[in-house]
Amino acid sequence: MKNRSLNFLKICFLFLFVSVISSFLYVLPSYAAFSLDPSFGTGGKVITTFGTDAYAVRVAMQSDGKAVAAGYNSNNGHKNWAIGRYNTDGTLDTSFGTNGIVIRTFGFDEVIHGDAIQPDGKIVVAGSCASCDGGAIWAVGRYNSDGSVDTT
């Protein structure tokens, strides 16, 4: 009986060992094949200045292939919502906001935590606003496809 239990454990260990090794062999080649798209920006990268201290938090893709990056920038220590829209080649879409960028200030410290593209092309962003109505609250905004605030 003891031999049978020991053999069973050996088989289980061998199965586990082979499973783990085979998963690494399957996954590693896919990482090796990853490379940046040289048709996007310069060598597959885009660097955009949004102010002295800026962070992109989320990126959403539009149905036309344009990318909408949302986050925040800092203006004299105060954070503002920052949104940029990029063409498929990585250039800023100048038909959006001011030269491809929208900066939204509510008062003191606003940070975008997420964005989404609606089927009609409108951009919805959500975040926090430390100074809105005297306290830290959630803030949600919707923008038209040209970067203007959707007042509806």
Q: Is residue 98 located within the same domain as residue 29?
A: no
Q: Is residue 23 located within the same domain as residue 80?
A: no
Q: Is residue 70 located within the same domain as residue 119?
A: yes
Q: Is residue 59 located within the same domain as residue 3?
A: no
Residue 18 lies in domain: 1-34
| 46 within a domain of the structure (yes/no) | no
- The total domain count for the chain is 2
Which ranges in 1-152 belong to alpha helices (H)?
A: 2-32
pTM of the full predicted structure? 0.72
| 82 within a domain of the structure (yes/no) | yes
| 105 within a domain of the structure (yes/no) | yes
Neighbours of 99 (CB within 10 A): 10
Per-residue pLDDT tens digits for 112-130 = 888 999 999 999 998 887 7
Q: Is residue 16 located within the same domain as residue 60?
A: no
| 138 within a domain of the structure (yes/no) | yes
| 49 within a domain of the structure (yes/no) | no
How would you class 85 by CB atoms within 10 Å of its CB: exposed for 0-12, middle for 13-18, buried for 19 or more? buried
Per-residue pLDDT tens digits for 10-55 = 665 556 555 555 555 555 555 556 788 889 999 999 998 887 788 8
Per-residue pLDDT tens digits for 68-97 = 999 888 877 788 889 999 999 999 999 999
The C-alpha atoms of residue 99 and residue 91 are separated, in whole angstroms, by: 10
For residue 111 the two structure tokens come to: 């940070």
| 39 within a domain of the structure (yes/no) | no
